[in-house]
Amino acid sequence: MPLSAPARFAAVLTAAAATFGTTFMTANAVGAACVTTTPLTLLNFNDFHGRLARANPNTVQFVGTVEEQRALAGEANTLVLSAGDSVGASLFASFAQNDEPTLDLLNAMDVAASAVGNHELDQGFSDLTGRIAPGVEFPYLAANLYLKGTTTPAVPAYTVVTKNGLRVGIVGAVTSGLSGLVSPAGIATLDVGDPVQAVNNTIADLKDGNEANGEADVIVVEYHEGAGVGSTPTAGIPASTLAEQLTASPLFADLVTNTDPRAQVIFNGHTHQVYAWDGAVPGGTRPVLQAGSYASNVGKVSLVLDSTTGATCSYTQAVLPMSSTPVADLVSSYPRVAAAKLIVDKAVDDSAVIGNRVIGTAAAPITRAKTTGNERGLESTLSNMIAQMFKDTLGKTDPNFIGAQNPGGTRADIAAGPITYGQAAAILPFANTLMTTELTGTQLKKVLEQQWQTKTDGTPLGGSRPVLMLGLSS
């Protein structure tokens, strides 16, 4: 194609990564009076993405894992939290019903609070505030979301929950890259601020002695942002360390090193990684944890707190894989698990009515890149086909039209044989709007170069994503 000519360019912009779970444990004294203490256990998950299924994952097993840990720590000592993206990019059972069953599941789990993830804004800010947030029994938090042109919070920045006489402040923030992950029209009334600055401003309010702007003894931060590589190898990508990730990503380094040291726990999401690291603070460390994605793990931080001040005396942290307890035993032992099973079973059965309808046939498999490394960093037959579909649909009469597909948005393969509506919908599960725009040849060249996410001098951009090779039309 001649790069000097303007090109019309269609693209769907969404991305995520996947990983596998393991367990890490640490314990560090952080310095407090600690004459009398009280326990607090935080059970955290992130990037659930409407994973309503009876197998791979077994959603009921996931809820059962949470309940076993809640029972172990004691109901009165435990909070269940989320770092965002509970809905959006969902399995068909949830996607086909606009994620309403997932909202029901979150309520059944008694989640106490969640950060806003980018996928909570897939259908725009009005959908978050008009349907998603009213549909759950906990607050969605984002300290760095403002009404456009102001510093007025668009959603709550924090919530405070009392446990064992201590006020636990939970502060949320969404990724600063939000504008590149959702439709601009959907967030046209918002400004996205610096997450660390917004979180620190909120913590300052929670610690200033003024009851009018909230006060908290214990501070927990939920960032919908995280490290690009975790501490366990996944899909051929070697394990990383905290030091390596602080160097690799200035964005992640900012979260870890510049968040107010009065934040006692930092939970992450968005990058779908597994890690439980000790981030340095004056006088000690604090846990920095992410629990993978897709209902595959549960993050657990157990704090021993000064019962008067709420300061951390010691902690342990772990990323826990799914419980091995049989589902039937979990259902019979825990009422929340029994409620979860009813929700999942109904969602799967109801979605099957439309999902099992055959809409086409594939003579041969059409797949994403298959590799032991980063499959999104290699050319994909299926992503190319999707890009060609964009061209065929929107650019039939335009010889300069180019279709492009972000490989992170291609979420399932096509097997040989009949194709059902449910299988087709799983390939592109996002509620995106297909758009076209005009680019010069120079701009198109820049887009193609940005697949490698490096600056022109070859140094990393500092983002939290690996190479993403676009699917391109003919």
Which residues of the chain, if any, have pLDDT below 50?
1-22, 29, 455-456
Total number of residues shown for the chain: 474
* pLDDT at site 2: 34
* pLDDT at site 224: 98
Q: Answer positive or negative: Cα dihedral of 42, 45, 50, 53.
A: negative
Bridge-based pairing of strands 265-268 and 284-291 is parallel
Q: Which residues contact 363 (CB under 8 A, 6 or more apart)?
A: 416
* pLDDT at site 14: 29
Residue entry with tokens 């693209």: 11
Beta bridge partners of 465: none
Distance CA 254, CA 294 (A): 26
- What are the tokens at 162? 């009392």
* pLDDT at site 465: 56
pLDDT 10s digits, 108-147: 999 999 999 999 999 999 999 999 999 999 999 999 999 9
Distance CA 396, CA 421 (A): 25
Beta strands in 209-311 (DSSP E): 218-223, 265-268, 274-281, 284-291, 297-306
Cβ(59)–Cβ(53) below 8 Å:
yes
* pLDDT at site 179: 92
- What are the tokens at 14? 């969404």
* pLDDT at site 300: 98
Buried b (16+ CB within 10 A) or exposed e, 109-128: bbbbbbbbbbbbbbbbbebb
* pLDDT at site 266: 98
Distance of CA 106 to the CA centre of its chain: 15
Distance CA 441, CA 423 (A): 36
* pLDDT at site 311: 97
Distance CA 130, CA 373 (A): 41
Cβ(147)–Cβ(120) below 8 Å:
no
Q: What is the model's pTM?
A: 0.82
Cβ(341)–Cβ(102) below 8 Å:
no
pLDDT 10s digits, 298-329: 999 999 999 999 999 999 999 999 999 999 99
* pLDDT at site 394: 87
